[in-house]
Structure formats: C-alpha cells, structure tokens
Amino acid sequence: MTPEKNRFTNRRDFLKDTFSVAVGLGFTKNLNTILQRNPVSSPPAEIEGIPKRRLGKTEEMVSVLCIGGYHIGRMHDEHYAIRMLHAAIDEGANFFDSAWCYNNGESERRLGKALKSRRDKAFIMTKNHGRDVDTASYQLHESLHRLQTDHIDLLQFHNLQTREEVESVFREGGAVEVALQAKKEGKVRYVGFTGHRNPEVLLEAIQKYHNHIDTVQMPVNLVDPHYFSFVQQVIPKAVEYDIGILAMKTVANGILLEDNVATIKECLCFAWNQPISTLVSGMDSIEQLKENITLARQFKELSEEQQSQLLVRTEPFGGIEREFYKHPSQNWRVYPAQPVH
C-alpha cells in the first residue's frame, strides 16, 4: 500500500469515527428511544403520499418534505404558485413554511389563499423577526391575517444570530411572551426558533430555553460537518431534549449543486439520514416538487459506510466559501475558514 493510500485511509477512518460519535447512534443515551418514536428510515416508495416523521415532543406527524415558502412568494405567476401548493397537498405533503418577511408578505398571502379551503390538511409554519413584545405582536397578527387562519401551527423566531438576540427574545418582557400568550389563546400551537450563522448560539439557546420551545431549524448538509457544524454541535442537544429538528440549506443555497459537489439525491438523502423531522426545501416549479417527492418516497437509510464515503468526498469543499451564511459573532470563538473535524 502506498503512503498516499495510507493517508487517505487514515483520514477516512478518522472522519468516520469522529462523525459516528457526533451524529451516529451515539448522539445521546436517549437517542435509541427517540428514534423508535421518530425513525430515520421511511416507508417504501409504493406507499401513497409522503413519509411522515414525528415532530419531537409535539407528537405531530409531519411530512419529511416541507414546502419552502420563500420561493412560493417570488414566483412570477401567483396562480402557478397556488397550483403548486395544491399539488403538494394532493401528493401528501402537510408541512408548509413561510415567514413574515418573505417577499414583503407575498409568501404568506399566497399560502393563505392556497390553504384556506384545505386548512385541515396543512400544518402551517411561519417565522417572526420580533425580539421585543411590540414587534412580535404586530408581526404575529399580520401573519394571521395574511394566512387567513385563526391559528398558526408553528411560530418560529427567525434567524437568531447572537447571544444578545437570544436573550432579547427569551428575557422577561421579550418576544417569547407574545408566543406563549398566543398559545394560551389558541392562536399558536407550537414555538421554535431558527438560525444559520452560529451553531453555538443555537446550542446555548436550547440548553437554556428548551422548556419554552418545541422546534429548531438549522442548516443540515454534506459540508456542514466539516466546518462550524450545526450537525455536530446542535443536533445531539436537540435530540436529547426531544426538540423537533427542521433541516434547511440542504444544498447550501444551491452552491453544492452549482459546484457539482453532490447531487440533489445525495444532499436530500444525507439530511433525511439524520434524526430530523422534516426538510424545508425551496422549489421553483411543480417539476422540482415532484422530483423531491419521488426522492422522499424512495429514501432508504444510509449505512455508516455510505455516509462516511459521502463525507470523505465532500470534505475538501467545507468552509466559508460555500457556507457563506455562517458568520460567527465576535462574542464567540472564530473558526478557521477551512475544514475542521
């Protein structure tokens, strides 16, 4: 065996062992119990509809494919966007994403128009940028109006970037009080938060405020484990507290496809192979929707070896160049812009 072969084998074994500890069956001692209730593996392709998974401690069963709302709001043809949402429901999707800020409210308005007559078939999530009571309250009521519904299934505080933002939301008099009051009034069923810049911010937020939240949304993709990783740092803690995990940026905003780092099937299957509840996917056409639904139906759990091979292949592509949305705050240690294990 040549020295070059030895180096590759050692790197592969090291990565496999490291990743298995971080994101394999050794997440926490409670993971096996949690996975029994929220299995990674999905039904075979011949099953009608889209496979569903348990949304953490909420006990809701949601489709493994969540229809991303940003793309719905930016489509030129509103009627086409609504047709696409109806097609998603007809194919078995029940989880729909939006945010108060998306496309100046157009995403929420279109979602409201499309789902008003099918509300009983839709689990609607929207996101709120409020950090204080007044802003959060204003955005919540505007979202309810746009969505043409009397309740939002999941309200998430969007894009928490720093420790200060987390404390602003969850302190006494912070935005979380709006969400908790809305839960009492039946206007919101569940509460969560999202973040894509700093895994340590989300990790600390979960550790401190897991009693207040039901879900967390974060990047989960094939290059994330190599640099400033949400998969390695945040997922284990979310699993420990039985918080529903929503995967986003599974193709790193399209960069992994554009740079031929991985195929769409490899990207989605890697994400579904983690203990996530659903994968939020932005799609620009009914054809893309059908492709993703087909992949969801055909998904089979990857072996440790298959997963390790994917990670070895994508290791050279990790770092800030492709995961440009990761920007550690000065309040946290700064990771180098290169792969780390």
State the pTM of this model: 0.85
Tell me what pLDDT residue 24 has: 38
Distance of alpha carbon 193 from alpha carbon 179, whole angstroms: 11
Tell me what pLDDT residue 7 has: 31
**pLDDT reading at 341 higher than 70:** no
Tell me what pLDDT residue 327 has: 81
For range 215-219, the mean pLDDT: 98
Tell me what pLDDT residue 182 has: 98
- Beta carbons within 8 Å of 341's beta carbon, 6+ residues apart: 14, 15, 18, 226
Residue 54 backbone dihedrals phi, psi, to 5 degrees: -75, 135
Distance of alpha carbon 25 from alpha carbon 205, whole angstroms: 24
Read off the pLDDT of residues 237-252 as tens digits, 9 standing for 90 and up. 999 999 999 999 999 9
**What structural domains does the chain harbor?**
27-317 (3.20.20.100)
128: region left, alpha or beta (phi > 0 left; psi from -120 to 50 alpha): beta
Read off the pLDDT of residues 30-84 as tens digits, 9 standing for 90 and up. 434 444 444 564 444 335 799 999 999 999 999 999 999 999 999 999 999 999 9
**pLDDT reading at 232 higher than 70:** yes
Measured over the CA atoms of residue 99, residue 103, residue 105 and residue 108, the dihedral's sign is negative
Share of the chain above pLDDT 90, in %: 81
Tell me what pLDDT residue 114 has: 97
**Angstrom distances, CA of residue 262 to CA of 269, 270, 327:** 11, 10, 23
Share of the chain above pLDDT 70, in %: 82
For range 172-200, the mean pLDDT: 97
Tell me what pLDDT residue 185 has: 98
Read off the pLDDT of residues 117-169 as tens digits, 9 standing for 90 and up. 999 999 999 999 999 999 999 999 999 999 999 999 999 999 999 999 999 99
Tell me what pLDDT residue 329 has: 55
Contact 208, 237 (CB under 8 A): no
**pLDDT reading at 20 higher than 90:** no
Residue 52, beta-bridge partner list: 63
Read off the pLDDT of residues 249-268 as tens digits, 9 standing for 90 and up. 999 999 999 999 999 999 99
What value does the mean pLDDT of the chain take? 86
Per DSSP (E only), the strands in the chain are 52-54, 61-63, 65-67, 95-97, 123-128, 152-157, 188-194, 215-219, 244-248, 278-281
Tell me what pLDDT residue 39 has: 53
Structure tokens at 162: 């720093």
Distance of alpha carbon 302 from alpha carbon 307, whole angstroms: 6
Q: What is the β-pairing status of strands 152-157 and 95-97?
A: unpaired
Structure tokens at 89: 């429901």
